[in-house]
Amino acid sequence: MYRIDLAGTRHRFPDLKSLLAAATPLRSGDELAGIAAESAEARVAARHILADLPLKTFLTETVVPYEDDEVTRLIIDSHDAAAFAPVASLTVGEFRDWLLDDKVRARELSAVCPGLTAEMVAAVSKLMRNQDLIAVARKCRVVSRFRSSIGLRGRLAVRLQPNHPTDDPAGIAASILDGLLHGCGDAVIGVNPATDNVDGAIALLHLIDDLRLRYAIPTQSCVLTHVTNSLQAIERGAPVDLVFQSVAGTEWANRGFGIDLALLAEAQEAALSLKRGSIGNDVMYFETGQGSALSAGAHHGVDQQTLEVRAQAVARAFRPLLVNSVVGFIGPEYLYDGRQIIRAGLEDHFTGKLLGLPMGVDVCYTNHAEADQNDMDNLLTLLGVAGVSFVMGVPGADDIMLNYQSTSFHDALYVRDVLGVRPAPEFEAWLDGMGMLDVRGRVAPPDIATLPLARAIADQRFPTQ
């Protein structure tokens, strides 16, 4: 039992997960689950207690029982006591101050990373203002590699997302070329297939790989199909660069996705066996998002933000190239409006970076949320300042297959321009070689009609099935 007296009122929280839930900034998913703070005063009380809680508490008191959940076992069993030592004596509040100390830079954060558990990182994020989340995330430096380098300082990559409602090869190819002409695609060219079957995934993999090879593009491809489909595609000799999977923060939520840790390990080994990376071997691509465990009825009474960080702990175990928080995709039942989406996006980015992940964010919302593109402009800019590794590039910012709003190729150009960040170095050199950069290094060719890629569009010389 955790308790505190504030202004003549005694506040009680029966266990650690109740304390964490009450300390969380307001969001509709926790209200839906019946675990949100009962009042603003109760939220402040919970934060008072949390600030004085020793970090070591999270090594002895779990939010989901060790015996019942393999994610909890992963978190506890993989904890690095030596890396934890520099902060082992701190409370959660003192840990916040340590993170914000100017003397603590990227080297110190990387060193302590293996000693941090998901719950420690979730707890400290609940004590931080938005500017704190940005300031610490900006200090973190996480670099991953396959054919391009993701996460270098001063760089911002873009996932080119050329979805099509019928998986039409010509339509997908045209969107890919459109994105490349706008300097997008250095994180990955990644398609969400409309039909989730192995034959369809293999066809799309060949389409993207043929285009990549034709123009010698230093990037990687991914068809965001179920991990078991990717395993079958690998067995059939398909050109699989990255294995994709959505992951959640509890064992039962992951079973709802049809996965467990052993299956993810099998997929990673299969992808590594292909040896397709040219400058690195980070072969996994994970997506997360607050509310997934609640929507699966597998949240164990734990707040959605803490479970999101536990999902990131799952991703950390497999050394991914990319981890993407699809922050607003799940809808207003979990993140009600632009304010909640912006806060959650900054939290997810901060916690992922602190755990050592190459974090990107799909800056997005569904059309029934109380949010609009101005909210997305705000979040995109804030994440750019915070040093986000990659964002999405969707034609017109309107995904016509998944029916949600994201960020466009032009949004990526905007944020690179206003913040003075550039594409991944390998991709930037390719853009320059293709004549798509001006004298200032911006994607602004003087005569687009003369470019090889533009001529390919005009001649319709893109690959089809």
CB atoms within 10 A of CB 88: 14
Among 448, 385, 400, 405, smallest CA distance to 182 is for: 448
Which one-letter DSSP state was computed for residue 299? -
Per the annotation, binding residues are 159-161, 192-193, 245, 287, 295, 362, 401
Say which amino acid occupies 366: T
The C-alpha R_g of the chain, in whole angstroms, comes to: 22
What is the C-alpha to C-alpha distance for residues 337 and 316, in angstroms, rounded to an integer? 29
What is the C-alpha to C-alpha distance for residues 212 and 207, in angstroms, rounded to an integer? 9
What is the C-alpha to C-alpha distance for residues 326 and 248, in angstroms, rounded to an integer? 12
Structure token pair of residue 7: 């202004």
Those residues whose C-beta lies under 8 Å from the C-beta of residue 170, and which sit 6 or more positions away, are: 460, 462, 464
Length of the chain: 465
What is the C-alpha to C-alpha distance for residues 374 and 30, in angstroms, rounded to an integer? 25
Q: Distances from the Cα of 112 to the Cαs of 79, 80, 82, 309, 447, in angstroms? A: 11, 9, 9, 17, 50
What is the C-alpha to C-alpha distance for residues 190 and 210, in angstroms, rounded to an integer? 14
Instruction: Label residue 461 exposed, middle or buried (CB < 10 Å: 0-12, 13-18, 19+).
Output: exposed
What is the C-alpha to C-alpha distance for residues 450 and 301, in angstroms, rounded to an integer? 59
Cα first-last separation, the chain: 62
Token look-up 């993701």 returns 150
Per the annotation, binding residues for adenosylcob(III)alamin are 193, 245, 295, 401
Q: Which residues pair with 286 in a beta bridge?
A: 245, 323
Per the annotation, binding residues for substrate are 159-161, 192, 287, 362
Q: Give the start-end residues of each E strand in 163-301.
A: 188-191, 221-223, 243-246, 284-288
Among 233, 279, 10, 13, smallest CA distance to 126 is for: 13
Instruction: Sort strands 149-150 and 144-145 into parallel, antiparallel or unpaired.
Output: antiparallel
Token look-up 């933000």 returns 305
Would you call 63 helix, strand, or coil by DSSP? coil
